Structure 1
Amino acid sequence: MKKRVLIDFAEIKNEELLLYAAEPVAIGEMKPVGQILVDSDQLSFIYLAEQDGDYTYITIPESVWTSVKTALDSNFEAYAVHGEGRLHLQGFKEEMDYVVENIKGNSNYGEKMVDRVEAVF
């Protein structure tokens, strides 16, 4: 079964995008996969991480997209954070840039997702 980690808060600090996990999770034990998926139904991006041979979905909801956009524009590195644990989301900018461009004007992602992505990014 895939684990899900919901990001509920984001901030930019010391030229880094920090994405804070809502629930307790061992972020520091995960390994970045460097791939982003789209969950149009939940209006979220999903960064893939790996732990114990299985994927963990780090869910980045619309509520934090403004911070993500600022970080992308400034070429800041992104990290998932919980407590003292940090996971460098390798390839985050490149993947987000690719996914966002693919969503714009693409009805395959659903009208609501396209509208929200175009409004923020």
Structure 2
Amino acid sequence: MQKSITINSTDVINNKLMVEANVSIKGLIPGEQMLADSDHFSFIYLLEKANEYTYLVLPEAIWPALKEVIKQNLPVIITFNEDQLELTNFKEELEYLISNIKGNGNYGEEMVEKVETLFISDL
């Protein structure tokens, strides 16, 4: 079974977007890749640990914070208790994924509409 961490809260602190995990992030390293889960209207950032992937699930509810990452060029940091990990290449991967989703029916009409409405409308 694929491991996953769903992010439900974010906060901008010292010009960084902090995303809070609900489980330990020890040993995880950034995979520097992002996917779309159009069935659940989420973006997925890949994290790696010992040849296994952990999906960092970024649901639609936090997309406004992700838009700020793009607009303000904010680094993204995942935290759990005292542990922190910068999600390298996050902004670039997010922008690339959004550009692929724009107008692409393969992601499903509703996913395309949600992404275009929030991210494309004024970027």
TM-score (norm 2): 0.92
| Separation (CA, whole Å) in 1 of partners of 2:110 and 2:85 | 30
Say whether the 8 Å CA contact 1:12–1:71 is kept in structure 2: no
Paired residue secondary structure (1:108): helix
Gaps in structure 1 of 5+ consecutive residues: none
Question: Number of paired residues?
Answer: 119
Q: Which of 73, 80, 101 pairs up with 1:103?
A: 101
| Separation (CA, whole Å) in 1 of partners of 2:112 and 2:79 | 28
Q: Which residue of 1 aligns with 2:82?
A: 84
| Separation (CA, whole Å) in 1 of partners of 2:35 and 2:64 | 18
| Separation (CA, whole Å) in 1 of partners of 2:93 and 2:61 | 19
| Separation (CA, whole Å) in 2 of partners of 1:10 and 1:112 | 24
Gaps in structure 2 of 5+ consecutive residues: none
| Separation (CA, whole Å) in 2 of partners of 1:81 and 1:117 | 26
The residue correspondences of 1:48-59 to structure 2 (distance < 5 A) are 48-59=46-57
| Separation (CA, whole Å) in 2 of partners of 1:72 and 1:12 | 13
1:4 corresponds to which letter in structure 2?
S
- Report Cα offsets for 1:78-105 as digits up to 9, x if no partner: 1112211212111001000000011011
Shift of 1:53: 2.3
Bigger strand fraction = 1
| Separation (CA, whole Å) in 2 of partners of 1:29 and 1:15 | 25
Paired residue secondary structure (2:8): strand
> Where does structure 1 differ by over 3 angstroms across 4 or more consecutive aligned residues?
none
Identity of aligned residues (%): 42
Say whether the 8 Å CA contact 1:66–1:120 is kept in structure 2: yes
Say whether the 8 Å CA contact 1:40–1:109 is kept in structure 2: yes
